[in-house]
Amino acid sequence: MLVGLATWLVAGAALPQAPPQGARVVVVARDLPVGHRIVPADLHVSRWPEDLRPRAGYARVDAAVGAVLAGPITAGEALTTGRLRGSSLLDALPHGRVMAHIPLADGGLARALRPGDRVDAISTTDGTVIGRDLLVLAAGGEQHDHGALSPLTSDDAVQGPGVMVATQPSTASRLAVAQGAQTPGVGVMLTVHRPG
């Protein structure tokens, strides 16, 4: 009988193991706050019944690493695309640059500008160049009276026509000084570079 039991145990160990049951679902390993950038230690993979698997969920941890939470989430919850912050203008910033908003008195230029355009910022007070070759990230604004402007494509819309640019912190400071507390769009004028 003992020989038979030993043979059964050896044979059972040699047989291929059944694959884990259920769908792979990435879940949160601990409570996380809004704005948290996800690292591998924040997540693990669990097995859920196929009919309970979230359609917008993740099956691999590495697919969600680096994403930013749009709201708080608690341990054990499945991580879905809806819980993550969408792409941001900040993602387009070159290294060492900041995003600055330049309000415009006339929405015409805001309507003409497109992401990727290059502009110079000039002080309307003394004509000095405040910033050169600024990269346009978004243009537009919340203006719906006559000829509505499309909203700025950022997570935080800015009222009135204007443009978001990528620039160095020192240039952003000069832009702020030039605009001061004047009527939006009065202190700075933009000139647009020819493409190429």
Other CB atoms closer than 10 Å to residue 114's CB: what's the count?
A: 10
Rounded to an integer, the average pLDDT of 187-192 is 88
**Token reading at 160:** 């009135």
- Return the ∠ at Cα 62 (arms to 61 and 64), rounded to 5°: 75
Q: Quote the CA–CA distance of 72 and 87 in Å, as a whole number.
A: 18
Intra-chain end-to-end CA distance of the chain, in Å: 86
Q: What does the block give as tokens for 144?
A: 């719906």
- Give the pLDDT mean for 73-83: 92
Q: How many residues does the chain have?
A: 196
Q: What is the pLDDT of residue 167?
A: 92
DSSP characters for 17-82?
A: PPPPPSEEEEEESS-B-TTPBP-GGGEEEEEE-GGGS-TTB-S-GGGTTT-BBSS-B-TTPBPBGG
Rg (CA), the chain: 27
Tell me the per-residue pLDDT of 112-169, one tens digit each, with 9 for 90 and over: 888 889 999 998 888 899 999 998 888 876 444 444 444 454 444 445 678 889 999 9
pTM over cut 0.75: no
Take residue 3 and report the two structure tokens written for it: 């020989």
Q: Of 158 and 65, which is predicted with more confidence? A: 65
**pLDDT averaged over the chain?**
80
Find out whether 50 and 23 touch, Cβ atoms under 8 Å.
yes
